[in-house]
Amino acid sequence: MNDYVPIIDLSSRDHPRGRAALAERIGRACATSGFYVVVGHGVPAALVDRMHRVTNDFFTLPDAEKDLVATGPGVSGFRRSGGTTARSLDRDTPPDLCEAYAVHATGELDDRARARLGDHPATWKLANAWPARPAGFRATWQEYLAVVADLAADLVRLSARALGHPEDHFAGRFDRHVSSLVANYYYPRAHPPLPGQMRRGAHTDFGALTVLYQENDRGGLQVLDGDRWRDVPAVPGGFVVNIGDLMALWSGGRWVSTMHRVLPAGPGSPSRLSVPLFFQPNHDAPGDGRVTAGEWMAAKTAKLFTAG
């Protein structure tokens, strides 16, 4: 595509010399747009296909069945409304044109262990809510979360190296990570959007790093470059990676957490599915110096769901 969102082939990441070169490229991307697309990442295509299939099948179930795993608040389990993402930056818009479903890496812990994950309400303190259908949903999501979190952890190691630290510099911030695996389902619609209404409104991600699967041929994701919106390429088999607010803060201002959005689609357009893994550190990891990482992320998430 362009130098703003480079495509980075990770297939040399197991070789020492390969890692040095990759860290260099990642560092450049994170200082420019905060976005890059990875290929050669090693996540099996069959797993991604299975993830796509069960997730799409879930969203096409009747609403009443999906509501059985609607736990709220925030996105844990199913939400008929994925919220109003632009509110995370205090901009008021009509609600996003999407449904969402989410689980958390911590959502399988017992109640007592989850209660210890911060002193404030947070989605990662809720138990995961798994739908009974389609068959294989839970096993597929758990496998995908484990495999893509491993990839994200390696990208964090390369990021540490790119910032001039030892690769394990951030490791202690992720040994109890509260990552969230989300599916955004942008449903087809018969009528046009309201003025200012997006599939996802303009926002920056709140966590450390996001690894995003997007349906190959649908498009719509854009990233801000100065005052101009650029399309992010949907590379078959690739993932879009972007850093969130926390990694930008940890970089001491050298890296950027950049605004992005998902454009609305016209009447008659097909649905679009995207699956971001928000790789989110331990709740008590450093935030912006005033609040912890957990407080930073929980405050932003809460804004998405405040009634306007």
Ligand X SMILES: O=C(O)CCC(=O)C(=O)O
Beta bridge partners of 185: 99, 273
Is residue 258 a contact residue for ligand X (CB under 6 A)? no
Minimum CB distance to ligand X smaller for 179 or for 184: 184
Minimum CB distance to ligand X smaller for 159 or for 258: 258
Secondary structure letter of residue 177 according to DSSP: -
Applying CB under 6 A, the site for ligand X has a residue count of 10
Return the residue nearest ligand X (CB atom): 274
Is residue 245 a contact residue for Fe ion (CB under 5 A)? no
Is residue 205 a contact residue for ligand X (CB under 6 A)? yes
Minimum CB distance to Fe ion smaller for 130 or for 229: 229
Judged by phi (left if over 0) then psi (alpha if -120 to 50, else beta), residue 84 lies in beta
Under 8 Å CB-to-CB from 305, ≥6 apart: which residues? 72, 73, 74, 83, 84
Three-class secondary structure assignment of 105-126: CCCCCCHHHHHCCCCCCCHHHC
| Tokens at 173, concatenated | 């911030």
For ligand X, the binding residue among 5, 26, 198, 262 (CB under 6 A) is: 262
- Cα distance between residue 185 and residue 55, in whole Å: 9
- Cα distance between residue 129 and residue 68, in whole Å: 9
Q: Which stretch binds Fe ion (CB under 5 A): 95-103, 133-141, 201-209, 228-236?
A: 201-209
Minimum CB distance to ligand X smaller for 22 or for 240: 240
Is residue 205 a contact residue for Fe ion (CB under 5 A)? yes
For ligand X, the binding residue among 106, 214, 280, 282 (CB under 6 A) is: 214
Least distance CB 276 / ligand X (angstroms) = 5
Helical spans, DSSP H, in the chain: 16-32, 45-59, 63-66, 111-115, 137-162, 245-250, 293-304
Residue 147's CB is within 10 A of a number of other CB atoms, namely 18
Instruction: Work out the widest C-alpha separation in the chain, in whole angstroms.
Output: 53
Least distance CB 128 / ligand X (angstroms) = 18
Footprint (CB under 6 A) of ligand X, residues 128-187: 184
Is residue 55 a contact residue for ligand X (CB under 6 A)? no
Q: Are strands 221-225 and 99-104 parallel, antiparallel or unpaired?
A: unpaired
Binds 221: which of ligand X, Fe ion, none (CB < 5-8 Å by kind): ligand X
| Tokens at 134, concatenated | 């389609």
Least distance CB 205 / Fe ion (angstroms) = 5
Is residue 200 a contact residue for ligand X (CB under 6 A)? yes
Is residue 276 a contact residue for ligand X (CB under 6 A)? yes
- Which single residue is written with the structure tokens 């605004």? 259
| Tokens at 71, concatenated | 């736990």
Least distance CB 21 / ligand X (angstroms) = 28
Residue numbers at the binding site for Fe ion (CB under 5 A): 205
Contact residues: ligand X, CB under 6 A = 184, 200, 205, 212, 214, 221, 260, 262, 274, 276
